[in-house]
Structures are given as structure tokens and as C-alpha cells.
Amino acid sequence: MQIDCVAGAASCRLIARRMRISVRAIFINYRRSDAEGEAGRLFDELTKQLGSDAVFMDVAAIEPGRDFRKAIDQSVADCSVLLAVMGREWLSAQDVCGQRRLDDPNDFVRIELASALRRDIPVVPVLVRGAKMPLAEELSEDLRELAFRNAVELTHARWKYDVQVLLTALRPYIGGPAAYPPAAQAPSIPVAAPASAIDPAIKDRVTRELAAFIGPIAEVVVKRAAKRSATAEELYSAAATEIETQDERLRFLKACRR
């Protein structure tokens, strides 16, 4: 079977290195038509900080006759954490027949993500170009858990600082010293991450929406969640974990993202 990279997650360059690398700490999952530029930029930044053998992005050159699903699954199994780079077209991208790519069980993006989720490998959504987290109801069954993973946002204007935030979040999975100076040394420009900078109006709205499900304690829950949340999206996800049923969590997240 010939692999069509445009239909999948990768630009098909690096799997020839797979047998020479015993462990890949970070696997970058992305869709070429959606966020190839940002994924490549992130790959360059991470390899600069962590080394070329610590980051893996593309699946290519799968041997003739080999099941590409198993090849991808094995590549994902070698990583400690998977970064799912999502642009604004990540959810709605279509194939040449007009069908949504994520609905195709042979879609590379879906296979990689499903493999990581099935293996309980940490999956970190990385939002670029102003993308929003998908709702669980918009995803196939094997990807549904992705909707409840805390996301990190990367922006063009704050790229270096945002990558620092991402690396800090990755340290429990990849180990090693901090790759960047402490946040206090970062450029003094507005950032979308500090919990203290989350718009109070957003926290008030999240509190109101959460109170409908768990009562007055919602105020305390949101205050605590805000302290460990870098973005509004992280706040939504953290607060949602306090809701017992999945259906109610979905309703809560949908209300927050309006």
C-alpha cells in the first residue's frame, strides 16, 4: 500500500531513523494541511533544546508489505509524551471526497492519537492559530478522551515564552533541567498563560456554569483551578474534572466555550 502523506499526519521524511533510535521522548502529531509550519517550528525548537534523538515527528518509508497501522503504533509506543498540534482546520479537514479525515479509521492523525490514548501515553493538545479544543461529541470514540486533556497555546507573538511554558509542562514526562531561563527572565510582554492573567470575567462565567452542576463550592473549585491553569481552556478542562458524568461535563464545556 502506498502511503499518501497529505491524508495523514506527517510530511514523510524521518522513519528511516526509527531503528537507530531506541527511545523518542516526544512525538509530534499534526496534520500537514492544518499546521505544518507550526509543527516544524516546534520540532526545530525542541530539538535545539533537547537534542535530535529526543523528538520525533514524521512517519514515512514504511517497508512494502508492512501494516502501516502497526508501524505507526510502534513509533508512538516509543515516546513518553505525544503533542497534538491543532490548527483551526484540525477538526474539519476533509479528504478529496469531502469526508472529514478524522472519521477515517486509517487517517494517520487519528491512528497516532488513538494509539497514544489507548496506551495511556500523556497527550498534550498544542493549540495554534487561535484553534479551540474540540468537544468530545465531535470526536470518534477512540479519540473522545482527547477533549478532556489540558491544552497549551502557542502564539506567533509569544512563541519563545509559550514554548517555555510547554517545556515546563513536559518536564515530568521527559526529565532534565529547564531548557529556558525562569519565567521572570522572559520578555515582559502580555502572555496568554499565567493563571493570574486569566480574565476575571471568564473565571466568573466558569464559576456560574460549574455551580449549576456542583453547587456553591464551584467558587472554591474555580479559584484553585485558576492557580494551576495557564489558559482559559485549561481552566475549563480543570473545572470539568469536578463534574461526575461525561454528559454533564460535555454540557459544561460547551457552555464555557460559547
Q: Give the number of C-alpha atoms closer than 13 A to the C-alpha of residue 115, restricted to the C-beta side.
A: 27
* Dihedral angle computed from the Cα positions of residues 119, 171, 50 and 78, in that order, rounded to the nearest 10 degrees: -10
| pLDDT, mean over the chain | 79
Percent of the chain with pLDDT strictly greater than 70:
79
pLDDT at position 10 over 80: no
Q: What is the rounded average pLDDT of the residues 141-170?
A: 90
Q: Of 6-10, 151-155, 249-253, which range is least confident? A: 6-10
Q: What is the pTM of this model?
A: 0.60
What confidence tier does 176 reach under pLDDT thresholds 50, 70, 90? low
The predicted pLDDT at position 59 comes to: 56
What confidence tier does 123 reach under pLDDT thresholds 50, 70, 90? very high
The predicted pLDDT at position 197 comes to: 66
Decide if 133 contacts 90 (C-beta within 8 A): no
pLDDT at position 17 over 60: no
Record: fold of 5-186: Rossmann fold (3.40.50)
pLDDT at position 257 over 80: yes
Q: What is the rounded average pLDDT of the residues 80-107?
A: 94
The predicted pLDDT at position 221 comes to: 83
Closest Cα partner for 42 from 83, 9, 74, 71? 83
| Digit-coded pLDDT (tens) for 41-51 | 999 999 988 88
H helix intervals, the chain: 32-50, 68-77, 108-118, 159-174, 200-214, 218-227, 232-240, 246-256
The predicted pLDDT at position 239 comes to: 85
